[in-house]
Amino acid sequence: MDLLVWIRVSIGFSLATFISYSLISVYQKILYQKIAKWNILLEISTYLLFYIIYTAITYTYYKGSIIRGFYDLPEFVTKIILNIALIISPIIFLARRYVIKLIPKKDEFIIIKGDNKMDFLKIKKEELICVSNSQNYVEIFFLENDQLKTKLIRSSLKKVQYEFDFLIQIHRSHLINPSHFKSWKDSTTILLTQVELPVSKSYKNRLLSL
């Protein structure tokens, strides 16, 4: 590869990297807004999507009139894309980790809704302590200016657990936010932030794993 072709390849492939990552950034933002969570499988899928888009753009450029490359697609992937992936994947990984650290952490709010449209409670996720069953209602225990507050909402414990999967069931009548777990008072009782709750045997192992 002579110098002129090398310059053309470098510029084109660098531009392809920028375009590909810009597209997956939009995809990631839309996806996160819909599901409000992120995990290792979604992270891996982001990398795969990036390389699919990147391969499509670079191969089109490579076979175009500017480069007039002679590799077919399988050879292009094995001899060029795989080598590039080995180089830029660690860079992308480190860059994503660094950028995430620079983003200010925003308060995450949750809304616990009742059967009535006007029956709801909006609080910060970390303010929620626990949820307890109360006949046809659930009683929400939460902090407000470091003071313990409660609110009754017409709903079921099962529905609340389904909507907020970070909650842990410790009893048929109680769900807790694990971030407020303090200690065991005895073998059947735990202490949360300003709250004390019983633990049933069937749910004890889950709590012991915290």
Average pLDDT of the residues of the chain:
90
| Confidence (pTM) | 0.53
pLDDT (tens digit per residue) in 67-103: 888 899 999 999 999 999 999 999 888 888 776 665 5
Give bridge partners of residue 132 from the DSSP assignment.
139, 174
Give the torsion sign (CA, 137, 167, 146, 200): positive
Domains, the chain, ordered by start:
3-102 (no CATH), 109-208 (2.40.50.1020)
- Alpha-carbon span 132 to 141, nearest angstrom: 8
Question: 60, exposed or middle or buried, with CB in 10 Å at 0-12, 13-18, 19+?
Answer: exposed
Report residues of the chain scoring pLDDT below 70: 1, 36, 99-107
* pLDDT value, residue 106: 64
| Residues 27/49, Cβ–Cβ less than 8 Å | yes
Sign of CA dihedral 172, 177, 180, 181: positive
